[in-house]
Amino acid sequence: MAAEGEALTVSGYITHHLTNLTYGKLPAGFQRYDGSVVDEGGLWTFAHGGVEASAMGFAAIHVDSMGWSIGLGIVFFLLFRNVAKKARAGVPSGLVNVIEMIVEFVDNTVKDTFHGHNKLVAPLALTVFVWVFLMNLMDLIPVDLFPELLLALGVPYQKIVPSTDPNITMGMAIGVFVLMLFYSVKVKGFGFAKELTLNPFKPPSKGPLIVIAPVLIALNLFMEVVGLLAKPFSLGMRLFGNMYAGEMIFILIAALFSAGWLWLAPAGVMQLIWAGFHILVITLQAFIFMVLTIVYLSMAHEDH
């Protein structure tokens, strides 16, 4: 499958499936894919290809990633709300039993990992785990299903796995990072500044070596800030990298179906095998994102 104006090649197929539906403003004078030139004042439109998406700059938005992630968040909210209304005393059954198992699992993980006192952490951990899992779960839907259906309606691109978009994963990671900073300042106060400047090398407070104290403080601050900033990057990029690689493998296997009838059976078997293995991957990645969120917030609450 290829979008309008693209050759039906393996390269074009892969590029198409890895392109987000992007909306933004093209600058004045930009030459579009069809040869037309954007008038003065620019043009707000959907991008046709990566070149137009890049020209839109920072103000562009990935409509598909935002739509699917918000939609899955609503599904999570409505599903758990419905189960909470149905929950009764006694032995649960069906969906209620599954949801209660998930809640209990997350609650036990928080109790084992988080050592502070904060009523926000457990609900946040549950939200992170289920939301990321639902976004990852979209990777098991056949890669051509929604792009084909929406292409027939005039939508040129459609990526339905939000966690394969670094904007989504890094956005979530930055949200966790903001909470880390907030609670670090709230719990530790000025002690947070001391934590950044007096560790790991303790500057001397007296004696002839006091002259090197500013150097050690600057070195400590540099090392601690780098380590602090590495947390959201590792959190967001780990999830993105694993899910992007998984999606790429699904796309490459799907491309084999166009290689001839001899490849139909092997490609189908490979799809099933990778889908079965990927169930473990998507669950593990949701779990890791949740655990790291709990650990980082626990570190923010540790006041020595």
Half-sphere exposure of 290 (CA within 13 A, CB side): 28
Residues 6+ apart with CB under 8 A from 262: none
Cα torsion through 276, 15, 252, 238, rounded to 10: -50
Other beta carbons within 10 angstroms of residue 302's beta carbon come to 12
Whether the Cβ atoms of residue 39 and residue 77 lie closer than 8 Å to each other: no
* 242 catalytically annotated: yes
Provide φ and ψ at 120, rounded to 5°: -80, -30
Catalytic residue among 167, 234, 258, 298: 234
Other beta carbons within 10 angstroms of residue 265's beta carbon come to 9
Catalytic residue among 54, 238, 258, 298: 238
* 238 catalytically annotated: yes
* 136 catalytically annotated: no
Catalytic residue among 20, 69, 184, 242: 242
Angle at 226 between CA 241 and CA 213, to 5 degrees: 165
The whole-angstrom separation of Cα 217 and Cα 113 is 31
Would you name the residues annotated as active-site residues? 234, 238, 242
